[in-house]
Amino acid sequence: MKRLFVAFAVAASVASGDTIKLTNGGTLEGVVLRETETSVVVKLKYGTVTLSKSDVASIERTQATAAKTDARLASWERCVEVVVSRPWAADFQPIPATVIDKGILKNVPYFSHRAGDYEFNIYGDPDRPACLEIGVQKELLKSDAAKKECLEVMLALLGDEKDREVLKALSLKIDRKEREGLTLEVTPETAEDAYGGWWISIYDVKMLDAARATEKELADITTSDDEIEKEEKEAEEEKKKPKKDPPPQADPPKKGGSTAAPYDPYGHYRWGTRELRWARPRIQTTPRRVYVRGFHRSGGRYVRPSWGVRRR
């Protein structure tokens, strides 16, 4: 996740942008969310990337505008700002989102991010989410403090004070309440559809149904562990061939697969085998499938974010 690519600049569609100059001569444009002694977290359009501080030559900052929470559920930009501000989120990064095959979230595409044993998911249209979900896994399942942290994050992502009051009243063991079309739920790790994690989920059932993918759509917007491994091997073989200058503009790959570097202009669309270790486990005996990176529901169809790519 820390290797550099050739000197491209990626123009992310964000409201205000910082310019991050890389030590290899490339440039990345986005919004710096968090900077530590060892890393820099940059927000792109519907994605984030964590850069090693040793790969960053300089950062030119612009005045950032905080995302608003006018809707009942905050947009993706606001969600990322809130989560990254938490002290435990220094290594916040995108991970492959396993296709969920049971429960209310079945076949609803989503973006998934991980920070240690915390996981944050946003379902449907990231600008107008159908569901927001945060949870903990492994050792944090025993931590009441971690679960209260999840509660604080979700309270910051609700735009309606009455919704916040309902959320505060939930039992953090197991509970579910509804208010004017919105369901607020705590799911323990023992539930069939919990995949070993403890979760707070807030969702609109009608919006989830509208975002749910058909089996045909799933075939187009998902990839498998085996496909990712195969394409990663092919990419490694391609790297060994004599280098040629890439074209100034190219179409992104149709499906998932891996990439040799996170700063590939289309690397936003690819997963690697190293990242798969963070995805939810295989579903029973069926081969695990994950959503191709960047696909989301918008305007009644599945799209990828638009990226401008230019040479240095």
pLDDT above 70: residue 305: no
Per-residue pLDDT, averaged over 90-113, amounts to 91
144-182 pLDDT, tens per residue?
999 999 999 999 999 999 999 999 999 999 999 999 999
* List of long-range contacts for 37-40, beta carbons under 8 Å, 24+ apart: 39/90, 39/91
pLDDT of res. 278: 86
Residue pair 101/282 in contact by the 8 Å Cβ criterion: no
Residue pair 130/124 in contact by the 8 Å Cβ criterion: yes
Residue pair 291/101 in contact by the 8 Å Cβ criterion: no
Distance of CA 42 to the CA centre of its chain: 13
